[in-house]
Amino acid sequence: MAFEVIMPKAGIDMTEGQIVKWLKQEGDQVTEGEIILEIMTDKTSMEIEAEVSGTLLKILRQDGETVPVTEVIGYIGQPGDSLETLSEEDVPAPKPVAEEKPLASIADDSYHVAVIGGGPAGYFAAIRAAQLGAKVAIVEKKVFGGTCLNVGCIPTKTYLKNAEIIEAIEIAAGRGIKFDSTKYSIDMEKVVGFKDSVVKKLTMGVEVLLKSNGVDIFRGVGKINKNKDVVVNGSQIIKADKIILAGGSKVSKINIPGIDNPRILSSDEILSLKEVPETLTIIGGGVIGIEMALAMHAIGSKITVVEMMDRIVPAIDAEASKFLADTLKKKGIKILTSVSIVGIEERGNKLQVKLANGEVIESDKALLSIGRVPDLDGIGEVEFETERGKIKVDPYMETSIKGIYAPGDVNGIKMLAHVAFRMGEVAAENAVKGNHRTVKLASVPSVVYTSPEVAMVGLTEAQAREQYENIRVGRFDFAANGRALASGDNHGFVKVIADDKYGEILGVHIVGPSAAEIINQASSMMELEITVDEVVKTIYGHPTYSEALYEAFADVLGESIHVPRKKK
C-alpha cells in the first residue's frame, strides 16, 4: 500500500498551505528525511521531508495550488515500486476539493450573525464573523469586555502590580538600595482611578475594533424569542440567520444565613472600594479569592481565607498548592482549609463569620469568592438542552437548537477568558462557513497571578498517575536558576510530568517568576505534540527564567546538568 504525503498542519491556527514547488517528480526515488517539496503558509515557508524511503508514485496537487491541511497531496510506494506495479486500490483517487459556499443573501434589515454579549467570546465572535464577510450585529447590556476586562483579570492585575511594587520596596535594602524612608501610604482614590483608566482604555478599544470591522452595535439586554430572533430591551427585533449567545457569567452565591449583609462584597464590588478594610475575610480560596487576598493584604488589610476543600486553589497540582499556601502564610495571610461556614452576623459594626467547627472570625468586611456561574439571561423563550445550569454545546459550539451557538462561560466547559476567545472565534467560523472547526482544550494553560505566580497546563501528577500506567516526573527549583538568583526572585519550581513509554508531555506546573509567561511555551509544546526528547534538543537562552523549564524536562530523562545527582 502506498504511503500518503499530506499537507502538514504546521501551527495551531494553520488551515491551508500553498505548494511552492515539488523537488521530486513522479517515478523518482526518495530517501527518508530527503526534502521533496516546499510549501508556504500565511506565516512562513517550509521544506517537507519524505517520511519513508521509496518511489514518488503520484503527485495529486501541483505547484501553486493551495491545499487544506491534512489533505493527501501525493503517494510514496515501497522501494522498487512503480505506477505500473500498483493497482488503483493502492493509489486512491484524490478527494474532490470542496467549493467554498458564498454567504446567503439577506434582507437589508437582517444580519448573517447576531451576537448577544460583548465579553471575550462575544466580541471575538463578532469581529471574526465580520472578517469572514458576514453582516454582524452585537448586543451588549453594560460595557464591552465582559467580566475579565471590567471586574476580573485586568483590574485585579492592576492591584497585584501595586503589591509587587510594595514588595520590591520592602526588599530593596537587602539589595543595597536605601531610601531615606520606606514608609508609604495608600491613596485608594488614585488606586481605583488608575484601575478605572486602564479598564476604560481597553473597553473603548474593543468598541473601536468592532466599529472598524463594520459590526453594528446595539445597547441593552438581548434575548432570543420563540421565532429565533434577538429582542433588545423587550421591543427592538434583530433578525439573523445565526445567533451566537455569549452571555458570559455572573457571581455565584451560597445559601447561608446572613449572606446578604451589605458588608459582604462580591468580586465585582471589592475592586471599587475607596477605603481599605482593616480586616477582611475571604470566603473561598479559589483563584479569585487567593489573588484578591494577596492584593488586599499588600494595601493594608489583615486577611483570613476560608476554604471548604482541603487545600487552596484545588484545581492546581497538590505540590504547587502547598507551596503557594506556605508562601502566603509567611506573608501574614491566614488560611483555613477543610472548614465550612454555617452563618454570618453583624455585631458591633463587625461581621462575625461562624464556622462549622465552632470558630468565629471577626472582620470589617467579607469577600464572597466561590466562583462564577453561567449568565443565562439571554436565553429568553428558547428551550436549550442544559446541564446543571450550563448550556450544552457540541464540539462546534452549537447548542441543541440548530443555528444557535453558545461559546464562553455560558457553556461552563472551561471558564477562562482565553478559552472564551477561542470558542468565540470557532463559533463564528462555524456560523458563517458551516460546522467544520472544533475547540481543543487539552493544551489550555491556567494561571494564578499571585506572588509567586502559579501556572499549569495538562494533567496534575495525581491525574496522570490515575490515567497512565507509568509516568516520569522531572523537577527543577528556581533556587538554582541564575536569572532568578540575580533578580532575588528564586522561590518556586518547575515540574514536568511525562508518559514513560513515548515521552509524551502530560502536564507542566510552574510556581515562580514569570510562570504566566513561561507556561505558554509548555502549552505550545503540548499542542504540537513535541516529546520530552525533542524539547531537550532545543538551546535555551542564558540567563533566562525559561531555562528552569528546560532543566525540568531534562530531569525527566535524568539528564539535567544543574540538578544534584540522585542517589540510587
Q: Which residues are catalytic?
A: 542
User: Is 501 in contact with 471 (CB distance < 8 Å)?
Assistant: no
Distance CA(67)–CA(373), nearest Å, equals 42
The sheet that has 45-49: what strands, in order across it? 45-49, 35-40, 16-22, 66-68
Q: Which residues of 298-323 are buried (b: 16+ CB within 10 A; e: fewer)?
A: bbebbbbbbbbeebbbeebbebbbeb
Q: Quick one: how far is CA 509 from the chain centroid?
A: 15
User: Is 97 in contact with 221 (CB distance < 8 Å)?
Assistant: no
User: Is 281 in contact with 353 (CB distance < 8 Å)?
Assistant: yes
Residue 342, C-alpha cell as written in the block: 454555617
Distance CA(188)–CA(205), nearest Å, equals 26
Q: Which helix (H) or strand (E) holds 16?
A: strand 16-22
Q: Rounding to the nearest 10 degrees, give the CA dihedral for residues 86, 92, 94, 98.
A: 180
Helices (H) and strands (E) in the chain, counts: 12, 32
Distance CA(254)–CA(322), nearest Å, equals 26
